[in-house]
Amino acid sequence: MATSLTERERQVLEAVIETYVQTAEPAGSRTVSKRFGMLLSAATIRNTMSDLEEKGYLYHPHTSAGRIPTDLAYRVYVDSLMHLSQVPPSESDQIREELTGERTAVDRILERAAQVLGVLTKELGVAVSPSLDEALLERLELLQVSGERLLLVLTLKSGVVRTIFVEVPSQMAAEAVAHVAVVLNERLAGLTLRDIRGTLSDRLRDAAGDSGSSELLNIFVQEADELFDVATTSAAAAGVVLGSAQLLAGQPEFATQERLQGLLEVTERRDVLREALARQLGHGLTITIGSEHQDSRLSPFTLVTASYRMGALSGVIGVLGPTRMPYDKIVALVDHTSRLVGELLE
């Protein structure tokens, strides 16, 4: 993509992007020349900017003589022009202090990480809890809550505990519930949740028991996809963690009521963010810019994420902001924070 650009075009494009990121104003040729001390005349820069516009890297707002980078320009920038910043020691210390103040639950660590990323980047910090599909079941318990409801407690080897209600048609004898718990532990402990969902019927095919036990085992067979799909259950409840949107809302991109409403819609629709973040699981450091998003509601935004690991599990942490962002600084901060989160969770 960037190979189609001359060296001069690459220099001017980088200067235009950095000018626009810093000022939030369309970049003019004289501004670019002065800010970067380029050994090119304003006329040469203007002509080069015109060439870049024809190639789809810049566009020209009707009310301004300057130009604004397109999504394509930002993609070229992050892929081949950007020079990653070093995370300043003060910011590194701030992140570590925020995350390591006390031992706490995974969701709380992610919440703190999203908050501190938002403060340092002035974007919206985002995170998603580890995907539990590959988590190993350590043990399970069945507790009677009421006449027609049991509580299934799943303890995973990653240290995560999930609870799911199991609806039963009538009061179950305590002996039948205890027997089913023993059978399930014998046949399912040590398996991943994905394997349990796919093979539960076969694993319980010859399980013996009285009529009450058989009825309850049949419920588990019929509802395996729901009962052992705690990755989805977790994401729906608290899997997506957001920092404060206040700093992001104060950026020039959201000065109009329409654009602010678009931001609020994205932050309120956790399912939109959950799907976008889920696509980044296990992919390391990723940058999704504007029109590259599959959901058009995210097209005004860039999502910078990095994966972290918790044993065999993985999650994602990052920031969401307008496409005009200091990519060099934000990428470095996201990568640094994800590494620290991974260290803490390991």
Query: What is the Cα–Cα distance from 290 to 70, expressed in whole angstroms?
Result: 9
pLDDT at position 171 is 83
Domains and CATH numbers, the chain: 2-81 (1.10.10.10), 89-131+239-345 (3.30.450.40), 137-233 (3.30.390.60)
User: ∠83-88-10 over CA atoms, to 5°?
Assistant: 15
Q: Can you name the residues that pair with 310 across neighbouring β-strands? A: 313
State the pLDDT confidence band at 2, using cuts at 50, 70 and 90.
low
pLDDT at position 238 is 46
Query: Is residue 279's pLDDT more than 90?
Result: no
Tokens of 102: 């006390």
pLDDT at position 233 is 42
Helix (H) or strand (E) holding 240: strand 240-242
Tokens of 156: 């995973």
As a whole number, mean pLDDT of residues 162-173 equals 85
Lowest mean pLDDT among 136-140, 210-214, 245-249: 210-214
Could you give the percent of the chain with pLDDT greater than 90?
43
The single-letter DSSP state of residue 309 is: E
Query: Is residue 310's pLDDT more than 80?
Result: no
Query: Is residue 253's pLDDT more than 50?
Result: yes
Torsion of CA 201, 203, 209, 213, to 10 degrees: -50
Q: Are 113 and 105 in contact (CB under 8 A)?
A: no
User: ∠146-150-156 over CA atoms, to 5°?
Assistant: 145
Q: How far is CA 54 from CA 49, 79, 138, in A?
A: 9, 21, 60
pLDDT, tens digit (0-9, with 9 covering 90-100), for 65-122:
789 999 999 999 999 999 988 999 999 999 998 888 655 667 788 889 999 999 999 9
Q: Can you name the residues that pair with 313 across neighbouring β-strands? A: 310
Query: Is residue 160's pLDDT more than 60?
Result: yes
pLDDT at position 102 is 56
* H-helix segments, 189-245: 193-203, 211-222, 224-227, 230-234
Q: How far apart are the first and last CA of the chain?
A: 39
The pTM of the whole model exceeds 0.85: no
Q: Are 302 and 286 in contact (CB under 8 A)?
A: no
pLDDT, tens digit (0-9, with 9 covering 90-100), for 186-240:
999 999 888 999 898 888 888 766 666 888 888 898 888 888 876 544 444 447 8
φ, ψ dihedrals at 157, nearest 5°: -70, -15
| 124-155 CB burial, b ≥16 within 10 A, e <16 | bbbbbbbbbbbbbbbebbbeeeeeeebebebe
- On average, the pLDDT of the chain sits at 86
pLDDT at position 236 is 40
